[in-house]
Amino acid sequence: MEDAGFEEMAPKDLLEAVEEERDISPASIAEAEAIFEDPELLLVITNDQVTDTQMQSIADMGASKGLPVIGLAELIPNERLGLPRLDDQQLGCPYGNS
C-alpha cells in the first residue's frame, strides 16, 4: 500500500500482534482508537485472512467514524480484481471528483 502512496498509520505493536497471530494489547487498541480522530486518515484497510473480534472491533470503529473499510487478502480470487473503486466523496476529498 505504501507503494501506492498510502501511509501506514496503525501502531507498530498492533501490526506485529496481527502478523504473529496474538492478542492486540489494550495500549495498541487505545492508540488505534486515537488515530481514528486524525483528519488525515482516509480509510481503513483490513486483512481478510485475519478475522477475529479484536480486528472486527477496529474495523467497526473506523466505520463508525464514516471511514471506508476495505478488506484485502494476500491472494486475490479471480472474481476480485483489486481494490474497489473509491470516489473522492468516499475518501473525503474536498476537491470533488477527480
Q: How many CB atoms lie within 10 A of CB 11?
A: 19
The span from the CA of 37 to the CA of 65, in Å, is 8
Look at residue 19 in the predicted model and tell me its pLDDT: 83
Whether residue 82 is predicted with pLDDT greater than 70 in this model: the reply is no
Look at residue 93 in the predicted model and tell me its pLDDT: 61
Look at residue 73 in the predicted model and tell me its pLDDT: 78
Give the dihedral sign, CA 48/21/75/85: positive
pLDDT, average across residues 70-82: 66
Domains of the chain with CATH codes: 2-91 (3.40.50)
Q: Name which residue leads in pLDDT, 67 or 88.
A: 67
Look at residue 98 in the predicted model and tell me its pLDDT: 47
Q: What's the pLDDT tens digit per position in 19-72?
A: 888 899 999 989 988 999 999 898 998 888 877 888 899 899 999 999 999 988
